[in-house]
Amino acid sequence: MRVPLIRTLLRLFTVQGSWNYERMLGVGFGVAEEPLLRDLAGARSREAGSAYRGAVARGAHFFNAHPYLCGLAVGATARAEHDGVLPAQIERLRTALCGPLGSLGDTLVWAGWLPFTSGVALAAVALGFGWWAVVGFLVVYNAGHIALRCWALRAGWAHGMNVATALRHPALQRSGAVVAPAMALAMGAALPLVAGYLGGPFTPSLRLAFAVAVGSGILLLRWRWLRLTGVRLGLTFVALGLVAGWLWR
């Protein structure tokens, strides 16, 4: 199964390419799963051909989870098809995996690994590493994300219907407890360094004005009756910056 697994892994990198509101990642899920379904038992028989078509069709049904962990469900459902599990049970497995894989991926990647590596890269730029910091970020972040994709696919294929065992893996549980404080440390160190790096060319009075604007923005975000979000506040500062730059000229 080594070659089909490699083909599926490569297809998983494009799982979001056919994203749509009706099936979310479903179509990409089915395309990625297809190489693992080609060698269903008795593939040359008419009955096996029907089983193959049914499995491919089921793979393209609705599915929504974190794209980096989507392979866990792909591998598990493909193994279930080979094990002769009833289609209704496979559908329930797909549905049951959406929530846990989405939550775990958001915690590990979007709220952990990505801001951690970004914080380290920003701090490195502020300390004078320049483009090497950007290259390092791309290498380290993608090494972690590709490793997660590979593990997810192999674990799903190995466990099949018992894929919940993979989600209880001790390393996976420990990573969730480590990545959050690591992210907080990296971003906490990066923010003052980046602020000093960006504020270096300005006079002390302008740096003070910038600090007052940031503090005021934080206070405004705390006032819920304003219904102000970080995005709206950021866009407001950008607009004010553009106007100030135009007037300065």
Per residue in 171-181, pLDDT (tens digit) is 887 887 888 89
Give the number of domains in the chain.
2
Q: Is residue 191 part of a domain?
A: no
Largest Cα–Cα distance in the chain?
Answer: 80
Asked if 152 and 206 sit in the same domain, the reply is no
Question: What confidence score (pLDDT) does residue 242 get?
Answer: 76
Average pLDDT over residues 83-109: 93
CA within 13 Å, CB half, 27: 10
CA within 13 Å, CB half, 121: 17
Domain range enclosing 212: 202-248
Average pLDDT over residues 182-196: 89
Asked if 171 and 113 sit in the same domain, the reply is yes
10 vs 51, which has greater pLDDT?
A: 10
Q: Is residue 197 part of a domain?
A: no
- The answer to whether residue 95 scores a pLDDT higher than 80 is yes
Asked if 207 and 172 sit in the same domain, the reply is no
The band of 46, judged by pLDDT with boundaries at 50, 70 and 90, is low
Give the integer Cα–Cα distance in Å for 154 and 207. 52
- The answer to whether residue 63 scores a pLDDT higher than 90 is yes
152-175 pLDDT per residue, tens = 999 999 999 999 888 888 888 788
Average pLDDT over residues 128-139: 95
Asked if 141 and 228 sit in the same domain, the reply is no
What are all long-range contacts of 7-11, with beta carbons under 8 Å and residues at least 24 apart? 7/35, 8/32, 8/33, 8/34, 8/35, 8/36, 8/71, 8/74, 8/75, 8/78, 8/153, 9/71, 9/149, 9/150, 9/153, 11/35
Asked if 7 and 63 sit in the same domain, the reply is yes
From 225, 219, 92, 113, select the one nearest 163 (Cα to Cα): 92
Question: What confidence score (pLDDT) does residue 243 get?
Answer: 81
Asked if 59 and 177 sit in the same domain, the reply is yes
Q: Is residue 196 part of a domain?
A: no
From 21, 232, 198, select the one nearest 125 (Cα to Cα): 198
Proportion of the chain above pLDDT 90, given as a percent: 59
CA within 13 Å, CB half, 28: 24
